[in-house]
Amino acid sequence: MDERGSRENFTRAGTLGIEEEYYVVDRQGRPTSGTDELVYESDPPEVLDGRLDHELFKCVIESQTPTIEPDEDPREHLVAMREALVEHAESSGYGIAAAGLHPLAKWRELEHAEKSRYRSQLDRIRYPQHRNTTAGLHVHVGVDDADKAVWIADEARWHLPVMLALSANSPYWNGFDTGLASARAKIFEGLPNTGMPTRFADYEAFDRYERRMVESGSIDDRGELWFDVRPHSELGTVEVRTPDGQHDPDRVMAFVEYTRALVADLGARYEDGETGSADRRELHDENKWRALRFGHDASLLDREFETTRDLGELVDRAASRLGVPGIREVYDAGSGAARQRRIRREDGVAALADALALRAE
DSSP symbols for 46-75: GGGTT-EEE-SBTTEEEEEPPPBPTTS-HH
77 found inside a domain: yes
1 found inside a domain: no
Residue 5: the pLDDT is 76
Q: What is the CATH number of the domain that holds 149?
A: 3.30.590.20
Residue 1: the pLDDT is 54
How many independent structural domains does the chain possess?
Answer: 1
Give per-residue burial for 117-155: e unless 16+ CB within 10 Å, then b. ebeebbeeeeeebebbbbbbbbbbbbbebbbbbbbbbbb
Residue 361: the pLDDT is 59
The boundaries of the domain holding residue 12 are: 7-355
Residue 81: the pLDDT is 97
2 found inside a domain: no
341 found inside a domain: yes
Contact assessment for residue 222 and residue 210, using Cβ atoms and an 8 Å cutoff: yes
Q: Which DSSP category does 13 fall into?
A: S
3-state helix, strand, coil in the chain (%, to 5): 45, 15, 35
159 found inside a domain: yes
Q: Which DSSP category does 38 fall into?
A: I
pLDDT tens, per residue, the chain with 361 residues: 566 778 999 999 999 999 999 999 999 999 999 999 999 999 999 999 999 998 999 999 999 999 999 999 999 999 999 999 999 999 999 999 999 999 999 999 999 998 898 999 999 999 999 999 999 999 999 999 999 999 999 999 999 999 999 999 999 999 999 999 999 999 999 999 999 999 999 999 999 999 999 999 999 999 999 999 999 999 999 999 999 999 999 999 999 999 999 999 999 999 999 999 989 999 999 999 999 999 999 999 999 999 999 999 999 999 999 999 999 999 999 999 999 999 999 999 999 999 999 987 5
* CA 201 remoteness from chain centre: 25
DSSP helix/strand/coil, 256:
helix
